[in-house]
Amino acid sequence: QAPESRELAVKWLSDHQGKFDLFINGAWAKPGSKKWFNSVNPATAQSLGKIAAANGEDVGKAVKAARKAQKSWQSIGGHARARHLYALARAVQRNARLLAVLESLDNGKPVRETRDIDIPLVARHFYHHAGWAQLQDQEFPEFEPMGVIGQIIPWNFPLLMLAWKIAPAIAAGNTVVLKPAEYTSLTALCFAEICKDAGLPDGVVNIVTGDGKTGEHLVTHPDVNKIAFTGSTEVGRRIRNATAGSGKHLTLELGGKSPFIVFEDADLDSAVEGVVDAIWFNQGQVCCAGSRLLLQEGIADKMVVKLKERMKTLRIGDPLDKSIDMGAIVAPVQVKTIEKLVETGQKEGAKMWQPDIDVPETGSFYPPTLFTEVQPAATIAQEEIFGPVIVTMTFRTPDEAVQIANNTRYGLAASVWSENINLALDIAPKLDCGVVWINSTNQFDAACGFGGNRESGYGREGGHEGMLEVLKPKTHLKPV
Ligand code: NAD
């Protein structure tokens, strides 16, 4: 199947002659900026095509199209919108192989992950939110859609982040202007075409591509009612400042430095597999990656030995090769950031270890990396590395574990490993974060609200909580 799927992606790229315009009001639109930038395959360093850089005028056109479409999209009602969302879910499934390969080429992540995790979850998000559209009148009788929502997403799960944003927003009767990350715009554009083919009315979903400047135009556009942002804490802060006083609603899904806590009575072999998932899935470029490994003293050495053995078996290589465990890092600049933080970790006295495994010489790759003897205050224990690097610390008591776990500016997720469910259930509420996994990690579902505390942001996406972020309450006072 692999070559066939690959051919689908190659054909899709060549059908567009390597040049991609904006997708506004159900049609391709040339950028007023007359500027395009390169989209590069990080595994090969080769260009996949040219992507339009939208300027303020382009963003204005997209917002205008979204505004024009919004009232009728709202007024067709939840049941009609649900039919459109079901159609989109089925269309994603029909195009799953194309989307999986395209995502893998554009981002560098293993096609096994896009095929088995990302794309099925994308479809699941549209199915799930079709259900909310149907239930809207019943569940949210005194709520209205926000209107036009500007959505800005990162590059680590391009299509999944798009689904997290678009599915609830349009289910609730909003229309959207979405800006994908500059490294990974292709699947958003492919999705826009899928929307058109699936019969979604023009203007409901508009895609503007570009870098942070394009994002700023969207954030500051006066006719956007809400900004939904996923990305770094730094840019989130800038967006919060830029929208202050504007009356715009805001959700921020930001960075993390999530603890992975292993108690002495944990099933260590399962915990090792958990770590592989926590920090080497998607090359560690996961907002809720379990990037701080907190080990209870009695099992710390044993766990590190087991982990090193497992790391020796990881395979890094061509993202389209289904036998690999890790693909490419999204861009050379991201590799540099990882290298710099790893260097800082060593300078600050922590001990670095990498397995002796083959790492491709061309393209942006970085090996799985383990730090031991890390102090909780060290830079690598505090800053998000956003790469395949895990730092290990030890603790004696459950209280000390909680204290170290909560000792960063972030609060996104946590993972607790113990065979004593009472201990795990006692720890979970003490962790200052938006989600706690017990004896598991990286579990997501469209029905569960996801989001962070403190500098990991605020607002939730998914499920009932997520619907409340795309609706606004309205009190109807009727005369008695
Ligand atoms: P980033 O903040 O650099 O960029 C995110 C998006 O914001 C991109 O589309 C970018 O073009 C845009 N942008 C940049 N500057 C902007 C500005 N001034 N105004 C408006 N938009 C602007 O983040 P990234 O490097 O793409 O993604 C990695 C970060 O995303 C990590 O910190 C990660 O933890 C976070 N993330 C969080 C979640 C979550 O759910 N909490 C999920 C995935 C990723």
Measured distance CA(3)–CA(33) in Å, rounded:
37
Question: Which pLDDT belongs to residue 3?
Answer: 52
What strand order describes the sheet that includes 369-372?
A: 351-353, 369-372, 389-395, 290-296, 258-262, 413-417, 435-438
Crossing angle for the helix pair 158-171 and 119-139, nearest 10 degrees? Answer: 20
CA 418 to ligand 1 centroid distance, Å:
34
Phi, psi angle pair for 368, to nearest 5°: -65, 140
Measured distance CA(365)–CA(372) in Å, rounded:
22
CA 138 to ligand 1 centroid distance, Å:
35
ipTM: 0.95
Please report the atom of ligand 1 found closest to the CA of residue 211. Answer: 11
CA 230 to ligand 1 centroid distance, Å:
5
CA 284 to ligand 1 centroid distance, Å:
15
In short, whether 144's Cβ falls inside 6 Å of ligand 1 is no
In short, whether 210's Cβ falls inside 6 Å of ligand 1 is no
Please report the atom of ligand 1 found closest to the CA of residue 218. Answer: 20
> Which residues form the catalytic set?
253
- 191, 100 contact by CB (below 8 A): no
Q: How many CB atoms lie within 10 A of CB 280?
A: 22
For ligand 1, atom 3, the nearest C-alpha belongs to: 232
In short, whether 181's Cβ falls inside 6 Å of ligand 1 is yes
DSSP structure class, residue 182:
T
CA 345 to ligand 1 centroid distance, Å:
24
In short, whether 455's Cβ falls inside 6 Å of ligand 1 is no
Question: Which pLDDT belongs to residue 476?
Answer: 81
Return averaged pLDDT per consecutive 10 residues of the chain, 480 residues in all: 77 94 98 96 97 98 98 98 98 97 98 97 98 96 97 98 98 98 98 98 98 98 98 97 97 98 98 98 98 98 98 98 97 98 98 98 97 97 98 98 98 98 98 98 95 96 97 88
Please report the atom of ligand 1 found closest to the CA of residue 256. Answer: 34
In short, whether 179's Cβ falls inside 6 Å of ligand 1 is yes
